[in-house]
Amino acid sequence: MFRIHKEEPRDGPEVEYLFDLAFAPGRTALSSYRLRDCVDAVAELCLVARDDYDALGAAIRYWPVRVGPGGPPALLLGPVAVHPTRQGEGLGAYLIGESLERARELGWTRVILVGDEPYYRRFGFTHARAAGLDFPPPTNPDRLLARPLVPGAFDGITGLVSHWLSLAEP
């Protein structure tokens, strides 16, 4: 049995270790991390899964970004990781589903991520929805995926996914 709760400051070092374990320490060199620099994660959507022994099984984070010059806000999903000893138990899928529902309830309308479409398609993410979007290099454009949280959220939305602080706040 797992308990899902918002990530707390005490979880931070353990979550960072899990992300390093899942993605290797070089993960912070990826372009998506430049969009996270000097920006707080969306705390209400950063979740952890702990078992009955309080061991961390999985974690997910979200970051605010913008699309296009002066463009609308969006969420950048990631990273999401499951401890190797807990993979195959559905924890990652549960965290993604739960956090997307929470994001919609909080009023967010669109989510972007860089990942494998065959995995994320089951959560409504597709490359086709991200067709008008660009992501800072080096990023394989085929891995840029998007999902609207409300109908039409990506209609007419085009441009470079950019740092939240690089444009005027809403």
Going from the N-terminus, what domains does the chain have, and what CATH number goes with each? 2-166 (3.40.630.30)
- pTM here? 0.91
Q: What is the pLDDT of residue 41?
A: 93
Q: What is the mean pLDDT of the chain?
A: 90
Helices then strands, counting H and E runs in the chain, come out as: 4, 8
Strands (E), 12-158: 47-51, 56-67, 73-82, 110-114, 133-134, 144-148
Q: What is the pLDDT of residue 168?
A: 41
Q: Model confidence at 121, in pLDDT bands (50, 70, 90)?
A: very high
